[in-house]
Amino acid sequence: MDARMNICAMNASTMSASDFTVWMSAQQAQVEARLSRWVPAEVPAGLGEAMRYAVLDGGKRLRPLLVLAACEAVAGHAEAALRAACAVELIHAYSLVHDDMPCMDNDVLRRGKPTVHVRYGQAMALLAGDALQALAFELLTPAVDTDANVPAAMQAHLCGLLARAAGADGMAGGQAIDLASVGQRLNEAELRHMHELKTGALLQTSVRMGVACGLDVPAQVAAALGDYGAALGLAFQVVDDVLDVTADSAVLGKTAGKDAAADKPTYVSVLGLQASQNLAAQLSAQAHRALDASGLPQVAHLRALADWVVNRTH
Amino acid sequence: MDARMNICAMNASTMSASDFTVWMSAQQAQVEARLSRWVPAEVPAGLGEAMRYAVLDGGKRLRPLLVLAACEAVAGHAEAALRAACAVELIHAYSLVHDDMPCMDNDVLRRGKPTVHVRYGQAMALLAGDALQALAFELLTPAVDTDANVPAAMQAHLCGLLARAAGADGMAGGQAIDLASVGQRLNEAELRHMHELKTGALLQTSVRMGVACGLDVPAQVAAALGDYGAALGLAFQVVDDVLDVTADSAVLGKTAGKDAAADKPTYVSVLGLQASQNLAAQLSAQAHRALDASGLPQVAHLRALADWVVNRTH
């Protein structure tokens, strides 16, 4: 986390930057521990090893943090939220594994390490991704007589939200548009639609899953947090496109300028750099207004996450 | 369906062969209609088209038939069973799409048609498979206020069963063992373990999902039907291995002798042809005994399906 983010978090809420850092580290550690417990090492023929390589010790865990902060905002079921946080991260991780494969983006490095197919071969990468997706739905459906004690209706709701965000009307659909968009000139609406599906759906659904861990959350509160998630999800992608141009590879942890080199339409290519930066700021403001509209008192972590998304440097 | 199967179905139950044919055709038509409704054409950038190509108008629909027959046996929730039937078929279909890809089995023909990656490219095949898996869980989680009216607890139970059968402890795990087994000498126990995961888990789970559509099914009844599914699932694979040797490609609809050519261990290579045929017959008898043990009156279709699995010629 960089200094700039700390300041923004401090500006944006009553919580201090160091409080947010402490909260974030604690949540990340908890998610990491659960992922390590739940992504099985003991799976035959190297599959478990590849799955763990794909998931553990990687990334900012933004989606899990959104689930946990949203659950906190609605004072929801903590164990359900931890499961939802890990489940959404598994979907994200599997999408990266498949996305990196030679038939897709053909990336050899991810978070500074060889990608899964480079390390374990394409067939194993394919299977590991498939198994991670299934595991996400396993985590969401603990047997009712276990310690987890997640109500069945909550389990079903969480599964439905995640399935819809991951599938053809969400992430996978966005990736299909992305594939088809190489070398195309998209207008802003088309670009926005692509990103709402490709990355926005899973980010917004992270918030929705956190809300779904609450009991009897009023519809207007859920809608406000949904608006927050939508604004944040789009802001994330706009900032991603900006960083692809402004950051260097070492800071970014992946190849900068890759989208431009691949002739993929981006916010920067469609709107220009300054307008993209302005749009990110507008979306951030929109996310904060949605939190205001929720009327919830416990939204400091959601506020800090919105600032973090916009002000991150990698 | 061939004449030989009709005779076996007739021997095995009080239902006539033509009654079974009529039942099977009606169920297949219903599953086909629902898949056509639920696998979306209107998904952007060709993804929907590839998904429909992968799923519609193909195969025997054995897994859906098992779900529906098991649901019938426990007088379960018909709409839930149709959703479960389609969901399990989507998992099966996605596994075929990914399995056919060049990095896996590199098959160019499936059911007499070009495989999905041949027709739509590898990237689209990868995404279509991913989206089909997500769609399976969508089908299992209809919003509670819709006509589907599937109880939330049933939804959660069905999601959990399917996720476990599809993932690292089921189908995907079995495929990983399969990958690792090329050129290896497996003993019968190792071969059996591989197939229990690779094909058995989803077949057994089809039966279990049908049972999960029932309300208050006694534990010993559920266990008996689980035993039926386990025996049938293994029998299916043994017969597959036998057919790989004895059938010709035209009848089989895929390349005969493929496993032997790929140096994959099979029941025939481990036990020999005659012992494999004997094993299939034993497993069929075991499936029938499990149905006896269930004490359920409405198992004629499950009986006929067990015979069909063993006596099929393709």
Q: Write the DSSP symbol of residue B39.
A: S
Query: Which of A91, A94, A126 has the most B C-beta neighbours within 10 Å, making it the best mutation to test the interface with B?
Result: A126
A176 and B45: CB-CB below 8 Å? yes
Q: Write the DSSP symbol of residue B196.
A: I
By C-alpha distance, the chain B residue nearest A166 is: B134
Residue from the list B162, B168, B181 with its beta carbon closest to the beta carbon of A43: B168
As a whole number of angstroms, the distance between CA B115 and CA B107 comes to: 7
Q: Alpha helices, DSSP H only, in chain A?
A: 3-12, 17-38, 47-55, 62-73, 78-99, 116-120, 122-139, 152-166, 171-181, 188-195, 201-212, 219-246, 249-252, 258-261, 267-271, 273-294, 300-311
Contacts of B175 in chain A (CB under 8 A): 127
Q: What is the pLDDT of residue A198?
A: 95
As to burial, measured by CB atoms within 10 angstroms (0-12 exposed, 13-18 middle, 19+ buried), residue A65 is: buried
As a whole number of angstroms, the distance between CA B226 and CA B152 comes to: 23
Nearest 5°: phi and psi at A225?
A: -70, -30
- CA torsion, ordered A167, A173, A174, A180, to nearest 10 deg: 150
Distances (CA, A) of A218 to A136, A159, A294, B45: 27, 20, 10, 37
Nearest 5°: phi and psi at B63?
A: -65, -50
A176 and B43: CB-CB below 8 Å? yes
| pLDDT tens digits along B97-154 | 999 999 999 999 998 899 999 999 999 999 999 999 999 999 999 987 677 899 999 9
A175: domain CATH number? 1.10.600.10
Rounded to a whole number, what is the distance in Å from the CA of B89 to chain A's nearest CA? 15
Residue from the list A43, A104, A129 with its beta carbon closest to the beta carbon of B123: A104
Rounded to a whole number, what is the distance in Å from the CA of A141 to chain B's nearest CA? 5
As a whole number of angstroms, the distance between CA A66 and CA A228 comes to: 11
Distances (CA, A) of A21 to A5, A17, A27, A28: 10, 6, 10, 10
Q: What is the pLDDT of residue B207?
A: 98
Contacts of B169 in chain A (CB under 8 A): 40, 43
Contacts of B51 in chain A (CB under 8 A): 168
Residue from the list A101, A127, A177 with its beta carbon closest to the beta carbon of B176: A127
**Helix crossing, A47-55 with A78-99: angle to 10°?**
100
By C-alpha distance, the chain A residue nearest B102 is: A123
How many CA atoms are closer than 13 Å to the CA of A81, on its beta-carbon side?
26
A168 and B131: CB-CB below 8 Å? yes
Judged by DSSP in three states, B294 sits in helix
What kind and span of H or E run contains A113?
strand A113-114
As a whole number of angstroms, the distance between CA A161 and CA A168 comes to: 13
- How many interface pairs between A and B have CB atoms less than 8 angstroms apart? 191
Judged by DSSP in three states, B113 sits in strand
Residues of chain A with pLDDT under 70: 1-14, 145, 249-261
Q: What is the mean pLDDT of residues B220-232?
A: 98
Q: What is the pLDDT of residue B59?
A: 84
Q: Do B160 and A34 meet the contact criterion of CB atoms below 8 Å apart? A: no
Rounded to a whole number, what is the distance in Å from the CA of A221 to chain B's nearest CA? 19
Query: Which of A98, A106, A130 has the most B C-beta neighbours within 10 Å, making it the best mutation to test the interface with B?
Result: A130
Over its C-alpha atoms, chain B yields an Rg (Å, rounded) of: 19
Q: Alpha helices, DSSP H only, in B183-299?
A: 188-195, 201-212, 219-246, 249-252, 258-261, 267-271, 273-294
As a whole number of angstroms, the distance between CA A304 and CA A28 comes to: 15
Q: Do A155 and B156 meet the contact criterion of CB atoms below 8 Å apart? A: yes
What's the domain range around A250?
Answer: 3-311
Rounded to a whole number, what is the distance in Å from the CA of B79 to chain A's nearest CA? 16
Q: What is the mean pLDDT of residues B13-26?
A: 85
Query: Which is nearest to B106 in space by CA: B125, B128, B89, B79?
Result: B125
A109-110 and A113-114 strand pairing: antiparallel
**A72 or B244: which leads in pLDDT:** A72
Contacts of B44 in chain A (CB under 8 A): 173, 176-177, 180, 197
Structure tokens at B110: 């499936």
DSSP bridge partners of B276: none
When pLDDT is cut at 50, 70 and 90, the band that residue B45 belongs to is confident
| pLDDT tens digits along A19-47 | 999 999 999 999 999 999 999 988 878 99
Domain count, chain A: 1
B104 and A98: CB-CB below 8 Å? no
Whether the predicted pLDDT of B184 surpasses 50? yes
DSSP bridge partners of B110: B113
B177 and A124: CB-CB below 8 Å? no
Q: What is the pLDDT of residue A65?
A: 98
Structure tokens at A106: 């053909």
Q: What is the pLDDT of residue A50?
A: 97
As a whole number of angstroms, the distance between CA A193 and CA A188 comes to: 8
Q: What is the pLDDT of residue B44?
A: 79
B127 and A180: CB-CB below 8 Å? no
Q: Do B314 and B243 meet the contact criterion of CB atoms below 8 Å apart? A: yes
As a whole number of angstroms, the distance between CA A83 and CA B144 comes to: 22
Q: What is the pLDDT of residue A9?
A: 36
**A101 or B250: which leads in pLDDT:** A101
Amino acid at the residue A187: N
As a whole number of angstroms, the distance between CA A72 and CA A84 comes to: 13
SS3 content of chain B, % helix, strand, coil (to 5): 70, 0, 25
Judged by DSSP in three states, B262 sits in coil
Structure tokens at B103: 């990095």
Residue from the list B131, B138, B175 with its beta carbon closest to the beta carbon of A160: B138
| pLDDT tens digits along B59-76 | 899 999 999 999 999 999
| pLDDT tens digits along B159-172 | 999 999 999 999 99
Residue from the list B94, B133, B156 with its beta carbon closest to the beta carbon of A152: B156
Structure tokens at A72: 């906190």
Cα first-last separation, chain B? 9
Q: Write the DSSP symbol of residue B84.
A: H
As to burial, measured by CB atoms within 10 angstroms (0-12 exposed, 13-18 middle, 19+ buried), residue B270 is: middle
A141 and B163: CB-CB below 8 Å? yes
Q: What is the pLDDT of residue B255?
A: 61
Q: What is the pLDDT of residue A254?
A: 60
Q: Is the pTM of this model over 0.95?
A: no
Contacts of A94 in chain B (CB under 8 A): 130
As a whole number of angstroms, the distance between CA A69 and CA A157 comes to: 18
Q: Do B44 and B24 meet the contact criterion of CB atoms below 8 Å apart? A: no
Q: What is the pLDDT of residue A3?
A: 35
As a whole number of angstroms, the distance between CA B278 and CA B310 comes to: 11
By C-alpha distance, the chain B residue nearest A127 is: B172
Q: What is the pLDDT of residue B10?
A: 37
Contacts of A135 in chain B (CB under 8 A): 163, 167-168
